[in-house]
Amino acid sequence: MSNATELTEENFKGAVASGVTLVDFWAEWCGPCKMIAPILDELAADYEGKASVGKVDVDSAANLAQEFSVASIPTLIVMKDGAEVNRFIGVTQKSELASALDSALS
């Protein structure tokens, strides 16, 4: 079971409105998305109470993917108080994502 929160078109804005959130735009059929999933679960546990990790399935939330100009997946966006502060495309090292979260939290 994933530690990340499932984000939908209905709950997205509320989920990212305040604080720091790492948003993973992914799809079930995406190999690299499956590779990075354990890293995101670790980050969700590591940052519990400080930042959240959310996952957006681009197949069921196509409008969100379009709104954030997601052309490749996985796309990982660090958001602070509802605004994008950092973006990564493709499989990204845990240390790089943690550094981006730490930067957004400071």
Catalytic residue among 33, 100, 101, 104: 33
Whole-number pLDDT of residue 2: 66
Here the tokens at position 32 are 């690299």
Confidence grade of residue 51 (pLDDT, cut at 50, 70, 90): very high
Q: Is residue 30 annotated as part of the catalytic site, yes or no?
A: yes
> Taking the domains of the chain in order of start, what are their residue ranges?
5-105
- Tokens 């660090």 locate to 78
Q: Is residue 83 annotated as part of the catalytic site, yes or no?
A: no
Q: Are strands 83-89 and 52-57 parallel, antiparallel or unpaired?
A: unpaired
Tell me whether residue 13 is exposed, middle or buried, using C-beta atoms within 10 angstroms of its C-beta: 0 to 12, 13 to 18, 19 or more. exposed
Instruction: Reduce the DSSP state of residue 33 to 3 states and report it.
Output: helix
Catalytic residue among 7, 22, 30, 44: 30
Q: For the domain 5-105, what is the CATH code?
A: 3.40.30.10
Rounded Cα distance between 79 and 64, Å, is: 14
Q: What is the pLDDT of residues 13-36, one digit of tens each?
A: 999 999 999 999 999 999 999 999
Q: Is 93 a residue whose pLDDT tops 60?
A: yes
